[in-house]
Structure 1
């Protein structure tokens, strides 16, 4: 039977990417002078897991990098080497190399071999510096120089025996176990491959290391009587006892007259050990099975392809439509004679709503998926610009639809880069202004009603009103000195707009902010800017939680029913005739509480025959997009309902003023209005 290994490779790729992201997060947050031992252990475990997986799948390039990285991390976590900023930089560079190698194996992208070699040499240089000769006396022991691990005092000695293990795997196991202490491979009298290990670790530690390479039923772990079992017969002179590394000779070697008795006892002990070998193997096998079972109980997540989730969501959408049809077709039934049927339909409606919310929550992902990308970027960019930036996040657990999360990454990246480049000042400038040397940049996310509000906030110099207006006039934009601050701030979203005096690889080309605005608007969101000179800038993005289902207001124009997204609706009213004014050649406006708003007759926008042509006879719905308001003139309000969004472009083509479609309860198709596009066409 042929086993498809691609599925296992994919699991490794996914897990390795998560481990690399976790490693980067921990490295960026580690305290150089007093690192948390738990953080160091977590970084080491991540590197060790990646190495084990890469070795299993034969990805030797990743194994070589992680091996050196793991050795360095092991020395640091054991206190044999002090952590420095240079170490952190090297480890981050190694993480980037591993990510590049991972993408090379998974996606077939190019791998910069020169960059790989440079990082390996950098890591190796730290190892060589640590192995430089120390000014300590050396011991001669059967012409073998003792390493620092041989000098260390160990409290346990274990023999790890293996059945049917490959030579390469045995070498790898010896190398891995040497991280726990002093290890040496040898054959037992029964011809089994084994490793003798002096360590301060436990059987569980040994089992955890070996389980990456061999199965539990092919290995056994046995405690040895002597903690000095590893090494050759040591013939020490009395002069060599003064260093304090060894026990007195009398305690290590029995007198000659007792040697025979000692040998007999040793042989007897080996017989007993061999008799217990099968029992130990059974015990280890049971232990592994138990851990598997325990791990299965503790596991709270499973990996599911996004296409499967999308399929379920589509089916739930069809179920919602069917349920709406049933509800509509039972509305005219006699409630007395059809009580049981109507009760069942009502019960179906409640269950469908609960099922819909539960399934939609599957696509929801925490904002930490986005926020975790920025600490490294902020660190590198601030260093490049010579600035000091303190980066903090709030609300990383706030959830957003996966489709929106993937599309919000680029806009947020532009905003964060602009805050560091344009917003936060140089350290000397901040000190002159009475601020702290390091600027503060924060990313936050919070739920507000049916939306998620994301803020990018810095305590820099703020936006310069005069400079923005001058640049806008130079670019030919229609501006005036009497414009409100909020209108002036919106100018930075104009295509090609930039106030940077020098074009760099960070900013200055005027490309980015207009893309930010367009992308967010396409997601049904809005952008707002608040800024005060000398105190900083806050950019707020408001997005719907999901694009698959939305709350809408059903409106009627002529014989057509349209869906107006509820997030854009401010209020609805029936206007008075005296509140409607005509502007020559400009259309009509409506006065709402001392504010004149453009009046947009939807029957003219979509070229259909209306029921009413006089706004005083119909209904006016006030909508707001990007801080701009307008009044939509419709014939009637039908109601409010939750609708399943269907894509039109993939099945037909782009329709001006329409963002999507849905299926109503009677089976008819209703268009969802693109409010932002309608308002832009009027302006």
Structure 2
């Protein structure tokens, strides 16, 4: 019987990527001058976990790199070597190599073997440096005696007498210890087992691995002198006979069991994995532990006493050993505890992995449910509320439950912005070092949630903005000092909710945008500009294709590619970009995005015979203006006065060339909209109502239509278009007789 482990590869890939991200976060946050012991242990655990998983799945290239990395980290965390910035750089480089190897196995991307060799050589060179006792050694836990008894193979032998455990846990522990050396397992009385490990690793490492599965206090550890040749031959012969007889449960026995043996219970047969202890003792002619060679093991307490070593109390040693277990493992594999400390069975895991395809399918089904519920509501409007009171109450309850269900399902796709923000500390650190700048990177609102689909698409635009702030915004240390600023510039990345949108801002305290330089460059490129342009209009020029004010082209910036892509990508997500800048004080670029593109609250409006949907997040109010509040501006269209403020009037019927019921704004309805900090009044015939709508992608099913962001299905089965409010307000500068399609 064989087990197909290919089904578990994706789980390993996901977990390894999370561990690599955690490792990078810890390395960037570590204090090199005075590193915290727990931080060093956590970094070590990430490397150890990746190494174990890679070895299990046969990914030898990854396990070889992590083995060298793990050894170096182990020396640092034990205080045998001082942590330096050179170490951190090497560990970050190793993280990049492991990510490249991981992508190679998962995606089939090429792996640079020269880069792998360079990093391995770098780590080995650092490992061979003379140890520096710069850190106080940790308190001793389980220490092997100073005078080690080593066999001819060069390894130390440890005997681990385990408490009563399930067989699968014993097998898992022996497999993990097998990564450290040679392992043999034998049963004891009372459903207990003993594991003998021959290894060059320290006893602390062995105890640390055991703490994944059990409480080290429940395990008896002893050290053995080397076996005599006769004992070694006898032990090997016994092991060979047992392996040939049982095949460890994967092969049929060479000789079938007799009927008497077959009649014995599972416990006596060892569940198919172990031969009964009586047969093992008979085969090896060793009826007792002493005769099987275990009499040569001296209790570790006696060895320490004879060597003059004072053993640390178990109560003090246990926490040091248990600290080696990663937080991730503690969530899934709790060490065995005393009866009074047992956790509830349901508290072992708080999350499960679900493929995004299943979540998308669930969201699509919820969308269809919302449409069906809208249809039922519309048909129920024609019923007599007195006659069908109970039916209408049930429909109202269905509406509330549908909305709660929709909100709960939509929250599954929501992810914290930390998923995006966590990518930037490393980039800021490397780019600042490359440019010779000092930058303090500060984030805020990392817990703010955004739809997963939008999070994946916002990474590239934010990357462009952060790189531009580092390269163009923040000055060199000498220039900052001359301007009376601190040598280290500040780069802020924040996210917050505002109505139905999320606002993401990239801010720096650098020199700000240079208005004169931007205008001069725009004139040089033949763009239509004027000195009378407002600052906001001048700042928008940097989003023009091919626009760049960099004096030299570098691998960081200067080719005029990036900012136009930023605006185009954000516009494709239904968002907008706004710039605020003050010369000498810095620049803030603000991105506004809808929280989700799947389901939204909308206001139904009517123009002629057509019904459109306005996203409710943009709507401030609706009103019917008085005739004297509507003014005509020569060559600029009409405006409407709302509480002392004149707003541009957007006649929707002219935008889409349809026949309206009213052409006089005082007879229709004006809906006040706001986006990108600007307001406008949308002139429509009538308001139909407010409802939830399921957004259908119009571009993938038809083509992109200017002024339209999507479509939806109404309660009567008809299709209604969802208006792109940002495009409509920008179009308000056109003449009244122009169409948005011109």
Once structures 1 and 2 are overlaid, which stretch shifts more, 289-298 or 299-308? 289-298
CA distance in 2, matches of 1:306, 1:580: 51
SS in 1 for 2:459: helix
- Once the two structures are superposed, the pairs formed by residues 222-233 of structure 1 within 5 Å of their partners are 223-224=220-221, 229-230=224-225
Give how far 1:668 is off: 1.7
Aligned residue among 192, 207, 212 for 2:210: 207
Cα pair 1:421 1:507 within 8 Å, conserved: yes
- Once the two structures are superposed, the pairs formed by residues 164-243 of structure 1 within 5 Å of their partners are 173=177, 176=180, 194-195=196-197, 201=204, 205-208=208-211, 223-224=220-221, 229-230=224-225
Correspondence 1:643 to 2:698: no
Tell me the equivalent position of 1:126: 126
Correspondence 1:335 to 2:385: yes
Once structures 1 and 2 are overlaid, which stretch shifts more, 293-302 or 611-620? 293-302
CA deviation map 1:570-599 (0-9, x unaligned): 443323334444566665444556665543
Give how far 1:301 is off: 0.8
Tell me the equivalent position of 2:116: 116
Give how far 1:7 is off: 2.5
Tell me the equivalent position of 2:280: none
The two structures have a TM-score, normalised by structure 2, of 0.74
CA distance in 1, matches of 2:382, 2:33: 76
Give how far 1:306 is off: 0.5
Tell me the equivalent position of 2:498: 448
Once structures 1 and 2 are overlaid, which stretch shifts more, 373-382 or 192-201? 192-201
- Once the two structures are superposed, the pairs formed by residues 342-381 of structure 1 within 5 Å of their partners are 342-381=392-431
Once structures 1 and 2 are overlaid, which stretch shifts more, 113-122 or 527-536? 527-536
CA distance in 2, matches of 1:2, 1:271: 37
Give how far 1:421 is off: 0.5
Once structures 1 and 2 are overlaid, which stretch shifts more, 18-27 or 633-642? 633-642
CA distance in 1, matches of 2:675, 2:377: 33
The two structures have a TM-score, normalised by structure 1, of 0.80
- Once the two structures are superposed, the pairs formed by residues 211-360 of structure 1 within 5 Å of their partners are 223-224=220-221, 229-230=224-225, 270=294, 297-360=347-410
SS in 1 for 2:443: strand
Correspondence 1:517 to 2:520: no
Correspondence 1:25 to 2:29: no
Cα pair 1:160 1:196 within 8 Å, conserved: no
SS in 2 for 1:649: helix
Cα pair 2:512 2:581 within 8 Å, conserved: yes
Tell me the equivalent position of 1:391: 441
SS in 2 for 1:617: coil
SS in 2 for 1:396: coil
Distance of aligned partners of 1:557 and 1:71 in 2 relative to their CA distance in 1, 3 Å threshold: same
Give how far 1:513 is off: 1.2
CA distance in 2, matches of 1:399, 1:151: 55
Aligned residue among 462, 469, 473 for 2:519: 469
Correspondence 1:60 to 2:50: no
Once structures 1 and 2 are overlaid, which stretch shifts more, 390-399 or 630-639? 630-639
Cα pair 1:19 1:50 within 8 Å, conserved: yes
Correspondence 1:535 to 2:585: yes
CA deviation map 1:304-355 (0-9, x unaligned): 0101001111111111111112222222322222221111111111111111
In angstroms, what is the RMSD of aligned CA positions?
A: 3.8
Distance of aligned partners of 1:469 and 1:412 in 2 relative to their CA distance in 1, 3 Å threshold: same
Give how far 1:120 is off: 0.4
Give how far 1:474 is off: 2.4
Give how far 1:36 is off: 1.0
CA distance in 1, matches of 2:77, 2:699: 56
Distance of aligned partners of 1:464 and 1:208 in 2 relative to their CA distance in 1, 3 Å threshold: same
Distance of aligned partners of 1:293 and 1:650 in 2 relative to their CA distance in 1, 3 Å threshold: farther
Tell me the equivalent position of 1:106: 106
CA distance in 2, matches of 1:628, 1:528: 11
Aligned residues: 607
Cα pair 2:474 2:489 within 8 Å, conserved: yes
CA distance in 1, matches of 2:345, 2:127: 36
Tell me the equivalent position of 1:258: none
Cα pair 2:174 2:185 within 8 Å, conserved: no
Distance of aligned partners of 1:606 and 1:497 in 2 relative to their CA distance in 1, 3 Å threshold: same
Give how far 1:24 is off: 0.4
CA deviation map 1:442-469 (0-9, x unaligned): 1111122222111111111112222222
CA distance in 2, matches of 1:199, 1:653: 66
Once structures 1 and 2 are overlaid, which stretch shifts more, 352-361 or 616-625? 616-625
SS in 2 for 1:376: helix
Tell me the equivalent position of 2:279: none
Distance of aligned partners of 1:539 and 1:149 in 2 relative to their CA distance in 1, 3 Å threshold: farther
CA distance in 1, matches of 2:550, 2:24: 32
Tell me the equivalent position of 1:549: 599
SS in 1 for 2:129: helix
Distance of aligned partners of 1:72 and 1:295 in 2 relative to their CA distance in 1, 3 Å threshold: farther
Tell me the equivalent position of 1:243: none
Tell me the equivalent position of 2:270: none
Tell me the equivalent position of 2:529: 479
Distance of aligned partners of 1:2 and 1:201 in 2 relative to their CA distance in 1, 3 Å threshold: closer
SS in 2 for 1:442: strand
Distance of aligned partners of 1:374 and 1:434 in 2 relative to their CA distance in 1, 3 Å threshold: same
SS in 2 for 1:110: coil
Unaligned runs of 5+ in 2: 133-142, 150-155, 189-193, 229-287, 298-332, 735-742
Tell me the equivalent position of 1:567: 617
Distance of aligned partners of 1:505 and 1:456 in 2 relative to their CA distance in 1, 3 Å threshold: same
Aligned residue among 497, 501, 505 for 2:555: 505
Correspondence 1:601 to 2:635: no
CA distance in 2, matches of 1:430, 1:656: 45
CA distance in 2, matches of 1:339, 1:108: 62
Aligned residue among 632, 640, 645 for 2:682: 632
Cα pair 1:459 1:537 within 8 Å, conserved: yes
Distance of aligned partners of 1:571 and 1:497 in 2 relative to their CA distance in 1, 3 Å threshold: farther
Give how far 1:622 is off: 3.2
SS in 1 for 2:701: coil
CA distance in 1, matches of 2:714, 2:184: 76
Correspondence 1:411 to 2:461: yes
Give how far 1:172 is off: 8.3
CA distance in 2, matches of 1:490, 1:592: 28
Distance of aligned partners of 1:294 and 1:89 in 2 relative to their CA distance in 1, 3 Å threshold: farther
Correspondence 1:159 to 2:159: yes
CA distance in 2, matches of 1:188, 1:566: 70
Give how far 1:70 is off: 0.3
Tell me the equivalent position of 1:249: none
Cα pair 2:707 2:728 within 8 Å, conserved: yes
Distance of aligned partners of 1:329 and 1:427 in 2 relative to their CA distance in 1, 3 Å threshold: same
Once structures 1 and 2 are overlaid, which stretch shifts more, 380-389 or 293-302? 293-302
Give how far 1:122 is off: 0.4
Distance of aligned partners of 1:596 and 1:365 in 2 relative to their CA distance in 1, 3 Å threshold: same
CA distance in 2, matches of 1:265, 1:430: 76
